[in-house]
Amino acid sequence: MSNLGSALLGLAFLAALAAAALALAGRNGDERWLRLSRRVVYAFCALLTGCVVIIELAFANNDFSFNIVAQHSSIETPAGYKLAAMWSSQEGSLLLWAWVLSIAASAALYATRRKLRELVPWATAVMMGVAAFFTGLMLFAPGVDPFATLDPAPADGIGLNPLLQHPSMMIHPPMLYSGYVAFTVPFAFAIGALVTRRLDAEWIRATRRFALIAWAFLGFGLLLGARWSYTELGWGGYWAWDPVENAALMPWLLGTAFLHSIAVQEKRGMLKVWNASLIVGTFSMALLGTFLVRSGVLQSIHAFGDNTVGPYILGLIAVVLVGSTALIVSRLDDLRSDKRIDSLASRESVFLLNNLLLVGMTAVIFWGTFFPLISELFTGEKASLAAPWFDRYTTPLAILLVLFTGIGPLLAWRRVSWETAKRVFRIPIAVAAVVALALVVLTDAADNAWALALFAFAAFALTGLAQEFWSGAAARRRLSGEAGPQALVGLVSRNRRRYGGYIVHVGVIVLLIGVAASSSFQTNRDVELRPGESTTVDGRTITYVKPTVAVDEEKLGFGSLLRIEEDGRVVGYLRPSRQFFRPTGQETGEIATYFAGEATSEVGLRTGLGHDLWIAEQPNVAAVQRAARLADKGFSACVQGAPGTPDQCKALGALMRAAAANPSLRAQAFEQITQLQGLAAERVAKGFLTTDAPSTFKVIVNPLVTWMWIGGILALAGAMIALWPSRGRRRGALVRTEADARKEAKYREIRDAELDHAAGKLSDEDFALLDAELRREALEILDGENGNGNGAHPRKPEEVEQS
Amino acid sequence: MDPQRKRKIRLVVALGVAVLLAVALVYTSFSASTEAKEPSELLSAPPGTTAEMTGKVVKGSIERDGNGITFRVVDRDGEGESLPVTYTGAVPDPFRGGREIVLTGTVENGVFDGEPETLITKCPSKFTTKSDV
Interatomic CA distance for residues A800 and B8, integer angstroms: 49
Whether residue B108 contacts residue B83, with contact meaning beta carbons closer than 8 Å, is answered with no
**Between chains, do A599 and B96 touch, taking CB under 8 Å as contact?**
yes
- pLDDT, one tens digit per residue, over A277-318 is 999 999 999 999 888 877 666 766 565 555 678 888 889 999
A63: CB partners within 8 A, 6+ apart? A1, A57, A69, A153
How would residue A762 be classed by pLDDT, with cut points 50, 70 and 90? confident
Task: Give yes or no for A377 touching B (CB within 8 A).
Answer: no
Whether residue A16 contacts residue A139, with contact meaning beta carbons closer than 8 Å, is answered with no
* HSE-CB of B113 using CA atoms within 13 angstroms: 8
Can you give the pLDDT at residue A800?
A: 35
A186: CB partners within 8 A, 6+ apart? A203, A204, A207, A208, A210, A211, A214, A258, A279, A282, A283
Task: Count other Cβ atoms within 10 Å, centred on residue A4.
Answer: 12
For the ranges A726-740, B59-73, B97-111, the lowest mean pLDDT is seen at: A726-740
Task: Give yes or no for A310 touching B (CB within 8 A).
Answer: no
Q: Which DSSP string do the residues of B41-101 spell out, in sequence order?
A: HHHTSPTT-EEEEEEEEPTT--EEETTEEEEEEE-TTS-S--EEEEEESPPPTT--TT-EE
- Residues A572, A578, A581: CA angle, nearest 5 degrees: 145
Query: Residue A206 — φ and ψ, nearest 5°?
Result: -75, -30
Chain A residues with beta carbon closer than 8 angstroms to that of B117: 524
Long-range contacts of A770-776 (CB under 8 A, 24+ apart): A770/A413, A770/A414, A774/A746, A774/A749, A774/A750, A775/A750
**Between chains, do B127 and A294 touch, taking CB under 8 Å as contact?**
yes
Max CA-CA distance within chain B? 77
Chain B residues with beta carbon closer than 8 angstroms to that of A389: 28-29, 32-33
Interatomic CA distance for residues A112 and A104, integer angstroms: 12
Task: Give yes or no for A329 touching B (CB within 8 A).
Answer: no
Can you give the pLDDT at residue A184?
A: 95
Whether residue A355 contacts residue A257, with contact meaning beta carbons closer than 8 Å, is answered with yes
**Between chains, do B35 and A381 touch, taking CB under 8 Å as contact?**
yes
Nearest to A540 by CA among A551, A527, A558: A527
- Residues A779, A781, A785: CA angle, nearest 5 degrees: 115
Of the partner residues A161, A364, A528, the one whose CB lies closest to the CB of residue B124: A161
Of the partner residues B28, B96, B125, the one whose CB lies closest to the CB of residue A88: B125
Task: Count other Cβ atoms within 10 Å, centred on residue A161.
Answer: 24
Cβ-Cβ pairs closer than 8 A, A with B, add up to 136
Taking only residues 523 to 582 of chain A, the set having a beta carbon closer than 8 angstroms to any beta carbon of chain B reads: 524, 526, 528, 578
* HSE-CB of A168 using CA atoms within 13 angstroms: 18
With both helix axes pointing from N to C terminus, report the angle between A371-379 and A347-369 in degrees, rounded to the nearest 10. 60
Q: DSSP code of B109?
A: T
Of the partner residues A93, A367, A526, the one whose CB lies closest to the CB of residue B90: A526
User: What average pLDDT does the structure give for chain A?
Assistant: 85
Interatomic CA distance for residues A2 and A157, integer angstroms: 17
Q: Judge whether residue A579 has pLDDT over 70.
A: yes
Interatomic CA distance for residues A380 and A802, integer angstroms: 68
Chain A residues with beta carbon closer than 8 angstroms to that of B67: 526, 528, 696
For the ranges A419-433, A601-615, B32-46, the lowest mean pLDDT is seen at: B32-46
**Between chains, do B121 and A234 touch, taking CB under 8 Å as contact?**
yes
Return the top range by mean pLDDT from A438-442, B29-33, B128-132. A438-442
Considering only CA atoms, give the Rg of chain A. Answer: 31
Question: How many Å lie between the alpha carbon of B51 and the closest alpha carbon of chain A?
Answer: 8
Can you give the pLDDT at residue A584?
A: 60
Can you give the pLDDT at residue A307?
A: 60
Q: Which DSSP string do the residues of A368-400 spell out, in sequence order?
A: HHTHHHHHHHHHSS-EE--HHHHHHHHHHHHHH
Compare all CA atoms of chain B with the CA of A72 and give the residue at the minimum distance: B125
Question: How many Å lie between the alpha carbon of A150 and the closest alpha carbon of chain B?
Answer: 15
Long-range contacts of A592-595 (CB under 8 A, 24+ apart): A592/A625, A592/A628, A592/A629, A592/A632, A594/A555, A594/A556, A594/A628, A594/A681, A595/A621, A595/A625, A595/A628
Q: Which of B33, B41, B53, B121 to mutate to test the interface with A (most CBs of A within 10 A)?
A: B33
Q: Which DSSP string do the residues of A642-679 spell out, in sequence order?
A: -TT--HHHHHHHHHHHHHHH-GGGHHHHHHHHHHHHHH
**Between chains, do B90 and A698 touch, taking CB under 8 Å as contact?**
yes
**Between chains, do B32 and A382 touch, taking CB under 8 Å as contact?**
no
For the ranges A59-68, A188-197, A283-292, B63-72, the lowest mean pLDDT is seen at: B63-72
**Between chains, do B123 and A694 touch, taking CB under 8 Å as contact?**
no
Task: Give yes or no for A389 touching B (CB within 8 A).
Answer: yes
The conformational region for residue A224 under phi > 0 = left, psi -120 to 50 = alpha, else beta, is alpha
**Between chains, do A696 and B90 touch, taking CB under 8 Å as contact?**
yes
Indicate the residue type of A76. E
- pLDDT, one tens digit per residue, over A482-499 is 787 888 888 888 888 889
* HSE-CB of A454 using CA atoms within 13 angstroms: 25
Task: Count other Cβ atoms within 10 Å, centred on residue A43.
Answer: 18
Q: Which of B23, B26, B27, B29 to mutate to test the interface with A (most CBs of A within 10 A)?
A: B29
Whether residue A739 contacts residue A781, with contact meaning beta carbons closer than 8 Å, is answered with yes
Chain B residues with beta carbon closer than 8 angstroms to that of A88: 125-126
Whether residue A561 contacts residue A548, with contact meaning beta carbons closer than 8 Å, is answered with yes
Q: DSSP code of A594?
A: G
Whether residue A759 contacts residue A475, with contact meaning beta carbons closer than 8 Å, is answered with yes
Chain A residues with beta carbon closer than 8 angstroms to that of B17: none
With both helix axes pointing from N to C terminus, report the angle between A272-292 and A310-330 in degrees, rounded to the nearest 10. 170
Can you give the pLDDT at residue A736?
A: 55
Task: Count other Cβ atoms within 10 Å, centred on residue A540.
Answer: 18
- Residue A79 burial by Cβ neighbours in a 10 Å radius (0-12, 13-18, 19+): exposed
- Residue A450 burial by Cβ neighbours in a 10 Å radius (0-12, 13-18, 19+): middle
Share of chain A above pLDDT 90, in %: 40
Q: Judge whether residue A709 has pLDDT over 50.
A: yes
- pLDDT, one tens digit per residue, over A158-216 is 877 777 788 888 899 899 999 999 999 999 999 999 999 988 888 888 888 899 999 99
CATH class of B36-121: mainly beta
Whether residue A728 contacts residue A741, with contact meaning beta carbons closer than 8 Å, is answered with no
- pLDDT, one tens digit per residue, over A322-361 is 999 999 999 988 888 777 776 777 888 888 899 999 999 9
Can you give the pLDDT at residue A791?
A: 42
Interatomic CA distance for residues A445 and A602, integer angstroms: 32
How would residue B50 be classed by pLDDT, with cut points 50, 70 and 90? confident
Question: How many Å lie between the alpha carbon of B109 and the closest alpha carbon of chain A?
Answer: 23
Q: What is the dihedral of CA A116, A118, A121, A124, to 10 degrees?
A: -40
**Between chains, do B92 and A161 touch, taking CB under 8 Å as contact?**
no
Give the residue numbers in B contacting A (CB under 8 Å), as ranges: 21, 25-26, 28-30, 32-36, 52, 54, 64, 66-67, 88-96, 102, 104, 116-131, 133
**Between chains, do B92 and A234 touch, taking CB under 8 Å as contact?**
yes
Compare all CA atoms of chain A with the CA of B18 and give the residue at the minimum distance: A360
Share of chain A above pLDDT 70, in %: 92
**Between chains, do A385 and B33 touch, taking CB under 8 Å as contact?**
yes
Residue ranges of the domains in chain B? 1-33, 36-121
The conformational region for residue A296 under phi > 0 = left, psi -120 to 50 = alpha, else beta, is left
Reported ipTM: the value is 0.78
A462: CB partners within 8 A, 6+ apart? A406, A506, A509, A510
